[in-house]
Structure 1
Amino acid sequence: MVKWYEQGVCPNNKWEIFNGSKLQLIVRGPRKMRIAEFIWNKISQPRHRFIIWLAVQGRLLTKDRLRRMTISMDNTSCSLCDAQIVETQKHLFSNCVWTRGIITEMSQWSGMLIPTGDVKQVLEKIKRENWKQLKKEITAALWASVVYHVWQARNWKLYRGAKMTIGTTVT
């Protein structure tokens, strides 16, 4: 390798000038983005990162998960929407009418399309988009903030029993 560097020639093609990034591609292969890079990016706030990490791991304590842990619940329906559907993580972040309204409002405000679906699916969709790295990180940060604030609103409504509509600020 020292010989390659001193002569400026790569052994694959003796006429090609040595290029460190090409050598890195030869040794490591092409760089693949993982969804963890979207979760732990520098743009998201730490509390947003933590909640979306828990959501990707499936560790948020939704009513369905609490029920499966044999913790008694009076009502297992979603706290945010009026539908009598069991509050699962999938429902809360992809099917809930209240959350969809928040995603629509956030997309209109930011001018960026935020994909819909389960938490991990949305990050996978962002990963597959043919966007520049910065746009992917910004979109992932927007998604992390949506997940965080939906979870915060859910907890606020659950523990205070307040009626919430889209556009209501949680303090």
Structure 2
Amino acid sequence: MEFCFNLKEYLVHPVNKELLWIKWIHDNYLKNRDVLTVNAIASNSWLWKQMLKIRDKAMTLIGGIDNLEHIIGSCYKNSKVKTSALYVALSPASLKVPWFNTIWERMNYPKNSIISWLAVQNRLLTQDMLLRMGTVFTNSCCLCSGAASESCDHLFFEFEFSKIVWNKIMKWIQFRWLSCVWNCLLEWYITSLRGKRFKQRIKRMAFNASLYRIWNERNARIFLQKSKGAD
């Protein structure tokens, strides 16, 4: 979005008007029109159309061209738009989701948190999800040799393989919470494990690492035809 607004600054700045790509945009797209009012036509490039869509979305969010220009003007510093200030001005305020601290624990490896973030929103491409999308036509969990359908609920902590992984990790870190239903375990983490003490952070890290390793094992079996035991 900031690229679109910075583009306006470049297009109208007298020093920049001599640049070749600025001339090309004026000749092919703007033709003496303003970047905040010009409409896309069928022959325009995909990138230009996307930029204008972002512009229109920002106008809808803010309430028109005048408000948008006022906000852009308020975000100038030393004759340049300050991108961070513009982002704050255009981003609606939002509350943290209840699972934020569990998933985005600072001790986690980022790749572990990403998988957990997808899982907690039911956005991991498990076979039940792929089946609904029409990408696959059968649903068979590779961790239990096809004995059940694959879903987040089945894959994490409920199936025997996952239970063994989780329970052994819990025993290793001397944590008494054993394997159970995925949603119940997540709810317990959210409501009862919110502290900042080292042991609590380790337990959150164990949760995310377990999700990541189980998902990794699932992918290795499907795509590489390789498998490891729970140990």
The answer, yes or no, to whether TM exceeds 0.5 is yes
Whether 1:111 aligns to 2:174 is yes
Q: Aligned AA for 1:96? A: F
- Please, what TM-score do these two structures have when normalized by structure 2? 0.52
Judge which range, 149-158 or 120-129, deviates more: 120-129
Shift of 1:46: 0.4
* Aligned counterpart for 1:35 among listed residues 95, 99, 102: 99
> Could you tell me the percent identity over the aligned residues?
26
* Partner residue, 1:44: 108
Q: Does 1:86 align with 2:149?
A: yes
**3-state SS in 1 of match to 2:114:** helix
Distance in structure 2 (CA, Å) of the matches to 1:83 and 1:100: 17
Residue equivalent to 2:140: 77
Unaligned runs of 5+ in 1: 1-31
Larger Rg: 2
Contact 2:156 2:211 in 1 (8 A): yes
Residue 226 (structure 2) pairs with residue 162 (structure 1): yes
TM-superposed CA distance for 1:104, in Å, is 1.2
Which amino acid in structure 1 is aligned with residue 167 of structure 2?
T
Provide the TM-score with structure 1 as the length reference: 0.69
SS at 1:133's partner residue?
coil
Which residue pairs with 1:66 in the alignment? Answer: 130
Distance 1:156 1:66 in 2: 17
Aligned partner of 1:19 in structure 2 is: none
8 Å contact from structure 1 (residues 126, 136) kept in 2: no
Q: Which amino acid aligns with 1:64?
A: D
CA distance in structure 2 between the aligned counterparts of 1:115 and 1:137, rounded to whole angstroms: 17
Q: Which runs of 5+ in 2 are unaligned?
A: 1-95
Q: Say what the alpha-carbon RMSD is for the aligned residues.
A: 2.4
